[in-house]
């Protein structure tokens, strides 16, 4: 079965950096677009970043543009989210998701989800 396993979350001070990883199995990774979403306490899950199956195109939420970078390594079935200049408002559970072929920015367009990893940014 398809599994997406996130890692790399933790506690960091404002202005710091973290790199999240999402390891995929049970699917042909190189044919899936990948996305990162996040959910803060009391809020709806929201789009953060996405990358095409080839890695040739990316998309970002306005709130993270210039600070976060999504990338992927198809040889390792892994997608990454490099987060720099973190702010307290970035505190959330971060989820990776997979969608066949085309890039997307809405939750219901994704087929598979990971369990999430907690990111906490202290002020």
**Residues 77-109: pLDDT tens digits?**
999 999 999 999 999 999 999 999 899 999 999
Enumerate residues 6+ apart whose C-beta is below 8 A from 77.
Answer: 23, 24, 25, 29
Mean pLDDT, the chain, rounded, equals: 97
Q: Tokens in use for 22?
A: 């999402």
Q: What's the CA gap between 68 and 85, in Å, rounded?
A: 8
């Amino acid at each position: 079965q398809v599994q997406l396993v996130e890692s790399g979350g933790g506690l960091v001070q404002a202005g710091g950096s973290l790199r999240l990883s999402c390891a995929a199995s049970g699917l042909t990774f190189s044919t899936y677009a990948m996305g990162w979403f996040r959910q803060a306490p009391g809020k709806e899950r929201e789009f953060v970043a996405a990358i095409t199956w080839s890695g040739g195109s990316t998309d970002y939420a306005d709130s993270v543009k210039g600070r976060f970078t999504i990338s992927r390594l198809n040889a390792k079935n892994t997608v990454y989210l490099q987060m720099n200049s973190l702010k307290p408002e970035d505190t959330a559970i971060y989820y990776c998701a997979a969608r066949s072929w085309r890039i997307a920015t809405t939750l219901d367009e994704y087929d598979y989800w990971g369990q999430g990893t907690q990111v906490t940014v202290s002020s």
